[in-house]
Amino acid sequence: MSESQIAVQAPAGRYQGVAQSGISKFLGIRYAAAPIGERRFKAPAPLPPRAKTIDATEFGGRSFDIGQPEQFTAMFDIQGAEGEDCLFLNIYVPTNGTPNKPVMFWIHGGAFIGGSGNQYDPTNLVRKNDVIVVTVNYRLGIFGFLNLQRLGEGFEASANLGIADQIAALKWVNENISAFGGDDRNITIFGESAGAASVFALMGAPAAKGLFQKAAAFSGGETLAPAMDYVDILKAHFSVETDAACLEKLMAMPALELSQLHQDLRLYFGSSLDGIVITRPACEAIKDGGAAHVPILTGATKDEGTLLAPFYSEHEQEANMTLMGLSASIGRNDGSTYWEHLHKLMPEASMLQKMTHVWFDLFRASALRVASTATQHGAGGWVYNFEVETDDPMGVTHAADIPFFFDWTEDGKTIFFVHEASNANLRLAEQWSQTVVAFARRGDPNGAGLPEWPHYGPDDYKCLRIAHQPEIVANPDGAMLKTYSVV
């Protein structure tokens, strides 16, 4: 079907997009100043309104990608140049339908070191459900999460710039989305993996309060740890003695070399409790009222770890450090409780087997805690278990649910990760995506054809089991609720 051009006048400027197949696309919209030159490692800066028409027909740049498994990226034709200039978002709008459409703000995953909003096509969500979907790019890895707070003024937000970028994008959406037909009072943030961790993190970010009304987190971990400081490691690498000399080296490096340095030093980057951007975990934000108004839909896939574990098990010392860190997150303590449980449960297991098991427990524990807290102290939480049957050797692995809630079922273009495009899976994809949209529309996921789904809470801890025969199950986690620090 041929494309036609369409223009929208918004407060930030006039945007020229394209309309095709029942939706209008506005691509590569810059939502903050380019984080290059003197703006490297600095908080995102707003842009003044533009007088000239802005071309929004092609994807903008995306952050350097070093973190997505090949099995997953094979599904996509990822557009947009990799680089440091990456603060762009994309807007997908139904051509017809009602005014004041619900807005769904998608935050991509990729372990905070990979991925892009450009690779996710929400055409079916938009066209079938009369919603607007926004996808966003944000700084990753060393560009987005290098803690330089000790260097003083200007670097206060450096440990969580990727999250600060998301907040800047949400501010842009709040200020401009009504011009595209969206309801700026009905915005749902949703994400998978690092995107889901971002959802939880945004609930604990004071600057994000009021910028979204609902949240959905697919396979995410809570942000619980303080920011790590790698400045001394970098000083040793550069053979310099002062923080100022280290910063000078970092600022002078070409972007590609800086990305390579991240890989060479094998540094971990991700969201953290930095006290500036993220001040407390999601559960505490719900309890203290900061996120009490936000209903949450969350859960995990049955075999999360089969995709992730091989990448975290290669080096024994690093793997043990990862296991201990994940154990602390699962038990919300020093890690000893879960560590003891794991080694009693799997005394003879290999590192790969343990890591596979631990990743599931990380995502599961976070989902149960946040949803239960939301039900008891906030606007309500719902938990799902994604267990759709598959013959793939990885099972129902991490990210297996993405094609279902995006409803990637176009004729001739059906995309499924570890599931076949069977009639049963196509029907379930439509039902699950409509369920997620129902939640985005009114804060309740019921009414799209799946079993009546109650809040997750201490009465019976009921979850929705998503399979070819979906059902409500009571406390499928049993005694693990104590290990997960849910009870």
**Phi and psi of 349, rounded to 5°?**
-75, 150
Catalytic residue flag (residue 398): yes
Considering the candidates 116, 193, 271, 372, report the single residue annotated as catalytic: 193
Distance, in Å, from the CA atom of 359 to the CA atom of 309, rounded to the nearest integer, reads: 7
Instruction: Write the DSSP symbol of residue 208.
Output: G
Name the token pair of 438: 């129902």
**465 beta partners:** 385, 471
Whether the Cβ atoms of residue 159 and residue 227 lie closer than 8 Å to each other: yes
Catalytic residue flag (residue 304): yes
> Amino acid identity, residue 390?
T
Catalytic residue flag (residue 315): no
> Amino acid identity, residue 480?
M
C-alpha angle 460-463-465 in degrees, rounded to nearest 5: 140
Name the token pair of 388: 């759709």
Distance, in Å, from the CA atom of 416 to the CA atom of 411, rounded to the nearest integer, reads: 13
Name the token pair of 309: 């574990």
Whether the Cβ atoms of residue 323 and residue 358 lie closer than 8 Å to each other: yes
- Strand segments, DSSP code E, in 43-168 are 54-55, 88-94, 101-107, 132-136
Output the CA–CA distances (angstroms, integers) from residue 44 to 31, 165, 195, in the order listed: 9, 6, 19
Considering the candidates 108, 262, 398, 419, report the single residue annotated as catalytic: 398
Instruction: Write the DSSP symbol of residue 153.
Output: T
Per-residue b/e over 237-254, b at no fewer than 16 CB within 10 Å?
Answer: eeeeeebeebbebbeebe
Name the token pair of 76: 């996509």
Considering the candidates 84, 192, 304, 387, report the single residue annotated as catalytic: 304
Name the token pair of 480: 């693990």
Whether the Cβ atoms of residue 159 and residue 145 lie closer than 8 Å to each other: yes
Whether the Cβ atoms of residue 182 and residue 198 lie closer than 8 Å to each other: no
Distance, in Å, from the CA atom of 20 to the CA atom of 262, rounded to the nearest integer, reads: 40
**4 beta partners:** 19
Q: Which helix (H) or strand (E) covers residue 172, if one does?
A: helix 161-176
Whether the Cβ atoms of residue 85 and residue 64 lie closer than 8 Å to each other: no
C-alpha angle 311-341-319 in degrees, rounded to nearest 5: 20
| Residues labelled catalytic | 193, 304, 398
